[in-house]
């Protein structure tokens, strides 16, 4: 068995969801995005924990939705991604709510429904400024009108996505909110109970006027606001994930001893080296070998030395000692020390999202 695990603090995750609930108020619904393995936390586990606390779940694609249904998840599930024509029957059979991104897609879906003598539940996606998927502003009313008046398409929602809601520059977000307000008004004039939704994490934290009928905060639900300095006052969420491994082997090395592939690290003096069972095969990126990354052992920081391997890495304990089997915190808190995801994402010039979803399936996700 792999001795490296991701521990999910269930109580902290639920606390984050409740903080969001309190912030958005009782008239706004909460949709939790669980795409990409629930941001690396484990798709089914996180959905099961969240289900009693949210109104909706959202996934990126058919397979993720099917996985949830297979595991007994009953809450409404919205599929964000554009569908492939071959996927329609499975989407409908699994009671997944479908995103319509264009008039062409709406017509394909309606044709399918007429032939299969069924109705499907859809959300119309409008591109208010993300430049990705959805009807552009000049096509939006036509598409909403087509869907709203089509008897086989049940227009559950109309939505759009914010492109820069975590940026200090508010111009684009304000424009997107204004555009979406216009479309939402139009959609409600055709169908008053249609659910309009726009806000992602940044929207939830910084733009109450972006809430409409439902919000879709992803990263912040897992405890990672983009700018914790300003966000934590508004929404004091905390990470619910720890990445923990163990010491597999200890050795005392003489001065001038090379460590790991290529001997990029050579000891200057006698020191103790611990080998840890995690590597880039687990999503712990090899580039961190050169970026002065530490781990925590018995509440103390120790540097990773030499190249990170696929399944292992080495840490220098200096003159300190430890025991084989001792816990090694890769991400998380140990005593007064903490290693945050942000430390890795900053060093790797990326965002917390990418580090989180990069942890591979080899690491068991354990709920505590």
Residue 215 forms beta bridges with which residues? Answer: 30
Nearest to ligand PLP of 221, 245 (CB atom)? 221
Q: Is the CB of residue 180 less than 8 Å from the CB of residue 212?
A: yes
Task: Kindly give the residue spans of alpha helices, DSSP state H, lying in the chain.
Answer: 10-24, 35-39, 43-50, 62-70, 88-93, 103-116, 137-148, 171-190, 201-206, 228-234, 341-347, 352-358
Q: State both tokens at 365.
A: 């996700």
Nearest to ligand PLP of 282, 352 (CB atom)? 352
Pairing of strands 5-8, 365-367: parallel
Catalytic center residues: 35, 261
Block residue for tokens 């790797």: 348
What φ, ψ does residue 290 adopt, rounded to 5°? -105, 10
Q: Is the CB of residue 278 less than 8 Å from the CB of residue 313?
A: yes
Nearest to ligand PLP of 58, 259 (CB atom)? 58
- Contact residues for ligand PLP (CB under 6 A)? 33, 35, 80, 161, 200-201, 216-219
- Per-residue CA distances from 266 to 60, 272, 273, 275, 321 (Å): 46, 13, 12, 15, 19
Q: Is the CB of residue 153 less than 8 Å from the CB of residue 113?
A: yes
Q: How many helices (H) and strands (E) does the chain have?
A: 12, 19
From the CB of 197, what's the least distance to ligand PLP, in Å? 8
Residue nearest ligand PLP (C-beta atom): 218
From the CB of 212, what's the least distance to ligand PLP, in Å? 13
Nearest to ligand PLP of 205, 273 (CB atom)? 205
From the CB of 158, what's the least distance to ligand PLP, in Å? 13
From the CB of 80, what's the least distance to ligand PLP, in Å? 5
Instruction: Give the C-alpha separation, 225 to 203, whole Å.
Output: 11
Rounded to 5°, the CA angle 194-59-55 comes to 50
Nearest to ligand PLP of 123, 246 (CB atom)? 123
Nearest to ligand PLP of 116, 163 (CB atom)? 163
Q: What is the dihedral sign for C-alpha 150, 178, 56, 25?
A: negative
Block residue for tokens 């290693």: 339
Q: State both tokens at 98.
A: 């479908």
């Amino acid at each position: 068995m792999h001795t490296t695990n991701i521990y999910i603090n269930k109580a902290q995750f639920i606390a984050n969801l409740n903080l969001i609930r309190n912030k958005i108020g009782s008239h706004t619904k909460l949709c939790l995005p669980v795409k990409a393995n629930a941001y690396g936390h484990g798709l089914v586990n996180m959905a099961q924990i969240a289900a009693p606390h949210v109104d909706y779940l959202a996934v990126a694609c058919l397979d993720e939705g099917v996985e949830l249904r297979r595991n007994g998840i009953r809450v409404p599930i919205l599929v964000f991604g554009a569908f492939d024509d071959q996927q329609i029957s499975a989407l409908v059979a699994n009671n997944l709510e479908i995103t319509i991104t264009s008039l062409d897609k709406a017509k394909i879906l309606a044709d399918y429904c007429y032939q299969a003598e069924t109705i499907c539940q859809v959300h119309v996606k409008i591109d208010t400024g993300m430049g990705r998927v959805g009807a552009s502003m000049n096509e939006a009313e036509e598409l909403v009108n087509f869907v709203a008046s089509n008897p086989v398409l049940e227009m559950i929602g109309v939505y759009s996505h914010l492109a820069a809601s975590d940026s200090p520059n508010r111009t684009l977000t304000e424009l997107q909110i204004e555009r979406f307000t216009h479309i939402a008004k139009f959609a409600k004039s055709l169908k008053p109970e249609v659910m309009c939704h726009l806000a992602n994490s940044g929207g939830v934290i910084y733009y109450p006027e972006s809430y409409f009928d439902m919000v879709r905060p992803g990263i912040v639900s897992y405890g990672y606001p983009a700018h914790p300095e300003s966000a934590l006052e508004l929404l004091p969420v905390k990470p619910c994930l720890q990445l923990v491994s163990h010491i597999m082997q200890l050795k005392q090395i003489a001065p001038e001893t090379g460590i790991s592939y290529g001997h990029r690290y050579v000891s200057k003096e006698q020191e103790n080296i611990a080998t840890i069972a995690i590597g880039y095969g687990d999503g712990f990126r090899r580039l961190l070998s050169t970026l002065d990354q530490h781990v925590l052992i018995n509440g103390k920081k120790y540097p990773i030395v030499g190249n990170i391997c696929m399944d292992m890495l080495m840490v220098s304990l200096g003159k300190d000692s430890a025991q084989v089997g001792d816990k090694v915190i890769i991400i998380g808190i140990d005593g007064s020390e903490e290693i945050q995801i942000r430390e890795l994402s900053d060093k790797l010039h990326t965002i917390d999202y990418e580090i989180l979803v990069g942890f591979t399936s080899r690491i068991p996700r354990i709920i505590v």
